[in-house]
Homo-oligomer: A and B are copies of this chain.
Amino acid sequence: MFDYKLLSALAAVVEQAGFERAAQVLGLSQSAISQRIKLLEARIGQPVLVRATPPVPTEIGRRLLNHVQQVRLLERDLQSQVPALDEEGRPERLRIALNADSLATWWASAVGEFCAEQHVLLDLVVEDQTVGLKRMRAGEVAACLCASERPVAGARSVLLGAMRYRALASPAFIARHFPEGVRADLLARTSALVFGPDDFLQHRYLAALGVEGGFEHHLCPSSEGFIRLIEAGLGWGLVPELQVREALARGDLVELLADKPIDVPLYWHHWRNGGQLLGLLTEQLIAAASSKLQVLS
């Protein structure tokens, strides 16, 4: 069998984004971690890590990490049957990549009870969908919640529902830029908000209105910050309806064009050999999503 001491060192360096922190987490010296990585590389005959900041796994390193992640989940199933195996009685950590807007809205209430009952600690990673799936492929996360349907090799994806987004701005922003009412062609000449370089929701909204090409925008990679910037009149942007029901009711935020939402589907990706815990979480999410997300027809 593989030497899991070496593989754990590799996993810790990548998960903790550095040798120093990996050493802390494993309770080893930094040089012990280095030696384990070197030994692993000597056995395999090729490097497993690019020594950048943070360290990046090589192609072969990724395959090893993927394997570690799956072994950990299988170990958990075994431990529930053979409790003595569980050396430290520690709760299981589940590493999950998800989009910021889900985390800011419905995610917590969907998983809260599950985590308490199963004694699971969540290790959440906020990522755009492309990066989230890359992390799946790299074996860095056990599951991923994103807008893309196609699963990576070895994983399954299931549609949970959709998040409804509405294009909003502050009343002051609308009064300043659109004194005679919001017009699609003028919209592209005001400032928009964009979550990050992978966020094309605002582009899609403008394209659906027949407005093509670039537009001025701020970049704000924070769900809560996004809404704060809109409220402060810095620009318009697409926001999950779930997050702004009260602000809309109060009139702090206003929809630019009446009832033109965009629905973004959410797929739950999980390892096929992810074990019982991931299976239970998947069931729980499917059940919870039906009341929290839009049903896509």
Q: Is the CB of B103 within 8 A of A224?
A: yes
Q: Is the CB of B52 within 8 A of A220?
A: no
Q: Is the CB of A233 within 8 A of B112?
A: yes
Q: Is the CB of A231 within 8 A of B121?
A: no
Interface class of chain A by DSSP: mixed
Q: Write the A218-234 contact mask toward B (1 if CB under 8 angstroms, else 0).
A: 11111111001101111
Q: Write the A269-284 contact mask toward B (1 if CB under 8 angstroms, else 0).
A: 0000000000000000
Residue among B50, B109, B233 making CB contact with A228, cutoff 8 Å = B109
CA distance A232 to B106 in the complex (A): 10
What are 22 residue pairs bridging A and B, where the CB atoms are less than 8 Å apart in the complex? A21-B197, A91-B216, A103-B224, A103-B225, A104-B222, A104-B225, A104-B228, A107-B228, A108-B231, A108-B234, A112-B233, A115-B218, A121-B191, A121-B218, A122-B218, A122-B229, A124-B218, A126-B221, A126-B225, A222-B222, A222-B223, A223-B224
A70 within 8 A of B: no
Known A17-B197, A116-B233, A234-B122; judge A108-B218 contact (CB<8 A): no
A52 to chain B, nearest CB (A): 5
Chain A residues engaging chain B, CB cutoff 8 angstroms:
16-17, 21, 50, 52-53, 56, 91, 100, 103-105, 107-109, 111-113, 115-116, 121-126, 176, 191, 197, 216-225, 228-229, 231-234, 243
Please, which residues of chain B bring their CB within 8 A of the CB of A115? 218, 234
CA distance A222 to B122 in the complex (A): 13
Please, which residues of chain B bring their CB within 8 A of the CB of A113? 233
CA distance A53 to B124 in the complex (A): 21
